[in-house]
Amino acid sequence: MSDLASQKRIAAAILKCGVNRVWFDPERQADIEAAISRNDLRELIAEGAIRAHPVKGNSRGRTRARMAKRSYGHQKGPGRRKGAAGARNPKKQAWMRKIRAQRRVLRQMRDEGRIERSLYRVMYRRASGGQFRSVSYLEAQIEAMAGRMR
């Protein structure tokens, strides 16, 4: 069997792929051996005697299944965790989520006319000070204050 390494290398350059992806037709080995120029190899590629194997990919099926399980809490046990609770869910991220939700609700209430601007400003400052642990507590406080103002 002859050495077709140079033909393989040139064919890989023409096909714009790696050497290991180049396929030679075993029936046309004599023709490939005789092909010494790039033009000869281009003709053999056009005839189908030389081809590039398709690119292999990694299947995402197992990953999708795992992510689906994690979405409802499975496969998240202590053996899977790397990093402290504060690293996995930083305090700053939790604060940002909470304060943005509260500010969104306050803005909505002000724009709809459910609270006046002065009460909005007071509650905004209190939310910034961390007085409310959630949106529901904020709304309960607003109800109580609105009742006192009437």
Domain range annotation of the chain: 5-52, 89-149
pLDDT tens digits, residue range 89-134? Answer: 999 999 999 999 999 999 999 999 999 999 999 999 999 999 999 9
Looking at domain 89-149, its CATH class is: mainly alpha
Q: Nearest Cα to 4, choosing from 45, 24, 73, 144? A: 24
- CATH for 5-52? 1.10.1650.10
pTM recorded for the entire structure:
0.56
Confidence of residue 150 (pLDDT cuts 50, 70, 90): low
pLDDT tens digit sequence for 33-68: 999 999 999 999 999 999 999 999 999 999 999 999
CB neighbour class for 60 (10 Å; exposed up to 12, middle 13-18, buried from 19):
exposed
Under a CB-based contact definition with an 8 Å cutoff, are residues 113 and 134 in contact? no
Question: By the 8 A CB rule, do 115 and 144 touch?
Answer: no
Residue 16 predicted with pLDDT over 60 = yes
